A and B are shown apart, each in its own frame.
Chain A
Amino acid sequence: MDRHANTPLMWGILAAVVAFLYVPISVLMALSFNDSGLPTVWRGISLRWYGALWHNADILSAAGNTLIVALISTAIATVLGTLLALGVEQRRRRGRALEALIFAPMIIPDIVLAIALLSFFSLTGVTMGLHTIIMAHVVFNLAFVCAVVRARLKSFDWSIVEASSDLGASGFTTLRRVVLPVLMPAVISGALLAFTLSVDEFIIAFFTAGAGRASTTLPMQIFAMIRFGVTPEINALAALVMAVSLIALTLAQRLNRGGVTAP
């Protein structure tokens, strides 16, 4: 890098890009507090749209569904992903096929996985609902947990495992008393990442939710609201969802410095 770049110009570019990135979402946040509910008329600060959210049964049920999906799929994915990471990093030689299989869920386009799962569930006669969304979310969630834990394992000193067994611990005791405590920050950070991804995920949920409103998740509800008539409540909902995912991400970042920041 050039240490002697034109600093005012650089700050200018950064300011413009940051403005481009933040103005749209900030406007949305600001509007969620607008009493008039119209994007064009400002009538003072109010929390009435947040209040309205609280009384909207559709949104509450969608939020509940999202929470169920995210919690269960994160729990399963955290266990499977951590074990996968441990298994993979122990191997001396890792085939390309194995690496590709683990990497695929992170880069496969959502729409492809979505239609593949839709076809699969329909043709095998599985009734779709929250459980199918959970099964689908585990697929990509476990890959992300695995990536975060593997990143930590790269700098893991395997000699402490040998030291533990040298001191008489069994394989399971070593895992429980030595390996997992060291890995815990990465595991938690991976779980937070998975939770965030799951809460935000729309396309795969949309395709695997099946018919009926019972298994509508929050992003599906938001999509419907944007598409079929915008009500002011959506601004409040958007602001809330944004705040939750940003807090979760900041937490994950703090727990796991230098870990995966890119999805």
Chain B
Amino acid sequence: MRQARSLVLMAPALIWLFALMVVPCALVLALAFFRRGLYGGVEYTLTLENLALVFDPLYAGIFLHSVRIAGLAALIAVGIGYAAAYAIAAMPRRYQPALLFIVVLPFWSNYLIRTYAWIVLLNREGLITQGLRLLGYQGEAPSLLYTEGAVITGLVYNYLPFVILATYAPLARLNPEIAEASRDLGASGWTTFRRITLPLTLPGMVAGGIFVFVLSIGNFITPALLGGGQFQMIGNLVYAQFLTANDWPFGAALSMVLIALMTGLLMLQTLASNRARGGATAEPRDG
């Protein structure tokens, strides 16, 4: 009775998700194993060529480049995000929700617009150059836009609030008496941070970092707008296969590898957060 009612309530949504998410995704997976038609389109002969092509040095290079950019973005975002989350958690409790809201708020404005804001700042005669000129800088305008740095800055800017949220939760949950106990037993503030706070909040950092990495590596807007198309990342490559090169099977193969990479990392993250919930994390070396 109860089960039947539950099924009736869930049915419309589940059918929708099945028809418009599960089936299309399965279709993409299947596409990866077919041959590209002569004039685009798909020829229904089974092949592993597309997957092999992903590991062709040309494309493998783009993969590695994407991993590098996404990895750097994740590291920087974790560094800044953890510091911000730590600072918020150290504030009086009554301010914390408001502070959290303030740092997460920009995240809710449009992604394209947030990225565009950086074009305005980084442009050849953009505001940063203007600022430098005001400070007495005379030389050539530095080229800031369409660089790897611009792409990484854009990714960090867009995903920073994720890291702040992911690292704030474990920091705020930490019993303040634990840090006090460390101080009471003779540890300095820095030692307390290194041996107590950091190990206990590491899973949150890992989760935040993986999130940024996963979101960055499949991103194609930021490389397109801030990288000026000069920096190919996997996202752009997939985009090109579907909308310009018309090689759907190869695009599907690329996305399959992308999904595999993301799924692996997300599973790693689940593992890390499960360990954190158990209260056991990597033990720092015994002194």
Q: Is the CB of B84 within 8 A of A25?
A: no
**In the bound complex, CA of A147 to CA of B26 (Å):** 24
A142 partner, pick from B17, B25, B106, B165, beta carbons under 8 A? B17
- Give the number of A-B contacts (CB < 8 Å): 257
Known: A112-B259, A226-B119. A14 touches B238 (CB 8 A): no
Q: Is the CB of B252 within 8 A of A119?
A: yes
Q: Is the CB of B20 within 8 A of A24?
A: no
B17 partner, pick from A25, A31, A139, beta carbons under 8 A? A139
Q: Is the CB of B6 within 8 A of A7?
A: no
Q: Mark A118-159, 1 if CB is under 8 A from B, else 0.
A: 111001000000000001101100110010000000000000
Q: Is the CB of A245 within 8 A of B221?
A: no
Q: Is the CB of B12 within 8 A of A80?
A: yes
Q: Mark A39-69, 1 if CB is under 8 A from B, else 0.
A: 1100000000000000000000000000000
Q: Is the CB of B99 within 8 A of A2?
A: no
Contacts of A112 in B (CB 8 A): 25, 28, 218, 255, 258-259
Q: Is the CB of A24 within 8 A of B157?
A: yes
**Does residue B197 face the partner (Cβ distance < 8 Å to A)?**
yes
**Does residue A171 face the partner (Cβ distance < 8 Å to B)?**
yes
Contacts of A223 in B (CB 8 A): 112, 221
CB distance from B139 to the nearest CB of A (A): 17
Q: Is the CB of B108 within 8 A of A245?
A: yes
Interface size counted on chain B using CB atoms at 8 A: 100
**Does residue B48 face the partner (Cβ distance < 8 Å to A)?**
no
Contacts of A84 in B (CB 8 A): 9-10, 12-14
Contacts of A227 in B (CB 8 A): 224-225
Q: Mark B11-42, 1 if CB is under 8 A from A, else 0.
A: 11110111011111101100100000000001
Interface size counted on chain A using CB atoms at 8 A: 85
List residues 3-29 of chain A with CB under 8 A from any CB of chain B. Answer: 3-7, 9-11, 13-14, 17-18, 20-25, 27-28
**Does residue A33 face the partner (Cβ distance < 8 Å to B)?**
no
Chain B at the A interface: SS class: helix
**In the bound complex, CA of A245 to CA of B106 (Å):** 10
Q: Is the CB of A111 within 8 A of B90?
A: no
**In the bound complex, CA of A92 to CA of B3 (Å):** 9
Q: Is the CB of B179 within 8 A of A2?
A: yes
Known: A25-B113, A83-B9, A84-B14. A105 touches B118 (CB 8 A): no
**Does residue B121 face the partner (Cβ distance < 8 Å to A)?**
yes
A-B contact sample (20 more), CB < 8 A, given A5-B90, A113-B24, A246-B105: A1-B172, A4-B179, A13-B84, A17-B83, A24-B118, A24-B157, A84-B12, A87-B6, A90-B2, A91-B3, A115-B238, A119-B28, A120-B20, A146-B13, A202-B111, A226-B112, A226-B119, A246-B108, A253-B101, A262-B165
B residues adjacent to A (C-beta < 8 A): 2-3, 5-14, 16-18, 20-25, 27-28, 31, 42, 80, 83-84, 86-91, 99-121, 123, 125-127, 130, 157, 160-162, 164-165, 171-172, 174, 176, 179-180, 183, 189, 192-193, 197, 214-215, 218-221, 224-225, 235, 238-239, 242-243, 248, 251-252, 255, 258-259, 262, 266
A residues adjacent to B (C-beta < 8 A): 1-7, 9-11, 13-14, 17-18, 20-25, 27-28, 31, 39-40, 79-81, 83-84, 86-88, 90-92, 101-102, 104-105, 107-113, 115-120, 123, 135-136, 138-139, 142-143, 146, 171, 196, 200, 202-203, 207, 219, 222-223, 226-227, 230, 234-235, 238, 241-242, 245-246, 249, 253, 261-263
